[in-house]
Amino acid sequence: MTIAADLLAWYRESRRELPWRRTRDPYAIWVSEIMLQQTRVAVVVPYWERWMQRFPTAAALAAAPLDEVLSAWSGLGYYRRARDLHRGAREVVARYGGRLPDTAAALRELPGIGRYTAGAIASIAFGRREPLVDGNVARVLARLFAIDEDIKAPATQRRLWHIAGELVPADAPGDFNQALMELGATVCVPGAPRCGDCPVAAACAARAAGRAAELPVVPARRADADKPLLAQAAAWVVRRGRLLLARRHPEGLFGGLWELPRAPDAAGLVRMFAGPGARLELAGGPPILRHRQVLSHRRLVIDVHVGRLVGRPAAAAAGPYDRIAWHGLDSLDSLGLAAASRAILTKLRENDGWTQSSERSRSSRRATRRSSRA
């Protein structure tokens, strides 16, 4: 039997039962492929099911406001994927009457759909003979063909795509592509591949040479301690059960997401809100919380300061923000919140920080009034 035949037979017998594998709806498959990028399958399943209930068609997604879309995505990270899905759905409605195009070339013209995603949708939903290469597939192919070069290098990527294109059969290309991904996710795993369970072990050049665990060749990851540090200050401003939040510009970093207003330092926060009839007063003492987070390219430290807003924040919709507004503390879970701000909210909830911060804010106001009377 060929590699393709062996893989297909194994996949049809051993594949995991995942909800998006029970449909050939191109839109549903598109959503699953975007969600699965850089996210574990176990995390994606409930998100995908809730998403499909909330936005069952491209037209439903296109009609939804961005805030609602980002709220449904909240927790998956990499929010650009959600914004691209939203923009893509609007293009699908405008250009194709709500139905995704059925060729990889046309799919690649939609926002957020690259070569891999186009190949996945075209092969799985439309039965097109299109290859795909993601991290799992690259690992499988590097071992099958004993490829010694860095799999992320452009020349190696071209070689992997060429091999994938040669392997994908005209019959059941979607199942074959899913079989490659499934093999990499469950058997041909990083570090210690389970070669005894592999349906194509007899054809594997790396296994024959005793090198399966050595491959693929990948560049060393940058140590967290070597990443640059970004230190910022955030304002925690509560008034009558509502929290002041700022929304980032749609096209910038974390575009369209709400967060605690942030600046390089506490003085920057005060300047952000300075304007005719408006000012931000920060409570004295240390910040109520220090949040640390490691991102893909940097480390983030945010000191959260309790504040009180006097007047209207006319100048707040500036810099990285396009809007500032009050939001009820009991409705924050329905917002599209940046990950750092959501983590801060969770920490404050857990240690009753909301109550403590309110007490500190009231103490600060009393001290301000005493000072002004003196």
11-67 pLDDT, tens per residue?
999 999 999 999 999 999 999 999 999 899 999 999 999 999 999 999 999 999 998
CB contact at 8 A, 200 and 128: no
Q: What is the pTM of this model?
A: 0.84
Give the model's pLDDT for residue 373. Answer: 47
Measured over all CA atoms, what is the biggest interatomic distance in the chain, rounded to whole angstroms? 92
Domain ranges for the chain, please list them.
Answer: 3-208, 227-373
Q: Can 130 be counted among the known catalytic residues?
A: no
pLDDT of residue 355 exceeding 60: no
* Overall residue count recorded for the chain in this entry: 374
CATH topology assigned to domain 227-373: Nucleoside Triphosphate Pyrophosphohydrolase (3.90.79)
Give the model's pLDDT for residue 357. Answer: 56
Class level of CATH domain 3-208: mainly alpha
Among 1-10, 119-128, 250-259, 299-308, the minimum mean pLDDT is found in: 250-259
Catalytic-labelled residue, pool 33, 130, 182, 259 = 33
Question: Strand (E) positions, the chain?
Answer: 229-239, 242-248, 258-259, 262-263, 279-282, 289-294, 299-310, 321-328
How does DSSP classify residue 98? Answer: T
3-208 and 227-373 have identical folds: no
